[in-house]
């Protein structure tokens, strides 16, 4: 999963990025409203964490512009303590959740994971796909109750496919959720990792549809 962090406090932005990365996310950070608005509008994210108090373009305006462009990604806003009007304005502009500063990093990570899960239509924090179980909070994937031994990249791919099970996920879509903004998007390595994953999760779980992408079935045949 991929997250955008828009926060002008460099220390906090780095802490958030590191906490999200520890939870398996790839992250891009923007230090002001203009840069954040641009990234959110041009790149693909599973969730955005958006500070409302930003230099230049305020967070509320960033959010309003995203929503005006039809960008529907879940957005968690960061607000100053005790500022109730901020929260209301944030929700009116299209925020999905908020955290009040100072917050616990792990709480923000948890909220971000919950937003992603809900956006994909999953009611519970543990998502089932056939014999696979993803604990979306712990980032652990088990098969028949046994934790799979996966690399970080494998976990990222499988997590995305489990969230979006029973529909074809193109390689382009997958790559957009696996890499940071500046990195090379390497279809070849996705293919190699899918091959490895297929052996780890068992036969018939991940299908390759030539020219279309990958399909993880909730009920493998
Ligand atoms: Ca700020």
Domain spans in the chain, listed from the N-terminal domain onward: 2-119, 126-216
Compute the distance between CA of residue 59 and CA of residue 50 in angstroms, rounded to an integer: 6
Q: CB burial class (10 A; 0-12, 13-18, 19+) of residue 38? A: middle
Residue 152 tokens read as 């970080």
Query: In the predicted model, what is the mean pLDDT of residues 166-178?
Result: 94
| 3-state SS class at 171 | helix
Angle at which helix 187-201 crosses helix 152-163, to 10 degrees, equals 80
Query: In the predicted model, what is the mean pLDDT of residues 177-200?
Result: 88
- pLDDT, one tens digit per residue, over 116-163 is 999 999 999 999 999 999 998 888 999 988 999 999 999 999 999 999
Compute the distance between CA of residue 102 and CA of residue 99 in angstroms, rounded to an integer: 8
User: 78 CA to middle of ligand 1, Å?
Assistant: 8
Q: Does domain 2-119 have CATH number 1.10.3210.10?
A: no
Binning pLDDT at 50, 70 and 90, where does residue 80 land? confident
User: 79 CA to middle of ligand 1, Å?
Assistant: 9
CA torsion sign for 136, 187, 152, 219 is: positive
User: 176 CA to middle of ligand 1, Å?
Assistant: 27
pLDDT at residue 188 above 90? no
- pLDDT, one tens digit per residue, over 10-41 is 999 999 999 999 999 999 999 999 999 999 99
Compute the distance between CA of residue 94 and CA of residue 208 in angstroms, rounded to an integer: 36
User: 9 CA to middle of ligand 1, Å?
Assistant: 6
User: 53 CA to middle of ligand 1, Å?
Assistant: 4
Residue 127 tokens read as 């998502």
Maximal CA-CA distance, the chain: 54
pLDDT at residue 221 above 70? no
User: 7 CA to middle of ligand 1, Å?
Assistant: 6
Query: According to the model, what pLDDT value does residue 193 have?
Result: 93
Compute the distance between CA of residue 79 and CA of residue 76 in angstroms, rounded to an integer: 10
User: 183 CA to middle of ligand 1, Å?
Assistant: 27
User: 59 CA to middle of ligand 1, Å?
Assistant: 9
User: 138 CA to middle of ligand 1, Å?
Assistant: 29
- What's the start-to-end Cα distance of the chain, in Å? 27
Percentage of the chain exceeding pLDDT 90: 83
Strands (E), the chain: 2-6, 26-30, 47-51, 75-79, 97-100, 126-129, 132-135, 140-143, 146-147, 168-169, 206-209, 213-216
User: 8 CA to middle of ligand 1, Å?
Assistant: 5
User: 19 CA to middle of ligand 1, Å?
Assistant: 18
Query: In the predicted model, what is the mean pLDDT of residues 70-80?
Result: 96
Query: According to the model, what pLDDT value does residue 192 have?
Result: 92
User: 20 CA to middle of ligand 1, Å?
Assistant: 19
CATH class of 126-216: mainly alpha
Computed over every residue of the chain, the mean pLDDT equals 94
Global pTM?
0.92
């Amino acid at each position: 999963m991929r997250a955008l962090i828009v926060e002008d406090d460099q220390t906090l932005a780095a802490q958030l990025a590191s906490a999200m990365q520890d939870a398996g996310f790839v992250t891009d950070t923007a230090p002001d409203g203009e840069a954040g608005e641009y990234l959110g509008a041009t790149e693909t994210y599973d969730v955005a964490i958006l500070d409302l108090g930003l230099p230049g373009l305020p967070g509320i305006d960033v959010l309003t512009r995203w929503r005006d462009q039809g960008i529907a990604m879940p957005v968690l806003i960061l607000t100053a303590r005790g500022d109730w009007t901020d929260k209301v304005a944030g929700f009116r502009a299209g925020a999905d959740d908020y955290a009040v500063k100072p917050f616990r990093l792990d709480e923000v990570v948890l909220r971000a994971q919950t937003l992603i899960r809900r956006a994909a239509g999953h009611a519970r924090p543990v998502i089932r796909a056939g014999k696979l179980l993803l604990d979306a909070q712990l980032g652990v994937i088990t098969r028949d109750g046994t934790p799979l031994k996966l690399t970080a990249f494998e976990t990222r791919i499988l997590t995305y496919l489990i969230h979006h099970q029973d529909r074809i996920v193109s390689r382009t879509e997958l790559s957009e959720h696996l890499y940071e903004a500046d990195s090379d998007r390497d279809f070849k390595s996705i293919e190699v990792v899918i091959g490895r994953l297929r052996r780890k999760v068992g036969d018939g779980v991940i299908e390759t549809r030539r020219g279309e992408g990958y399909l993880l079935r909730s009920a493998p045949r």
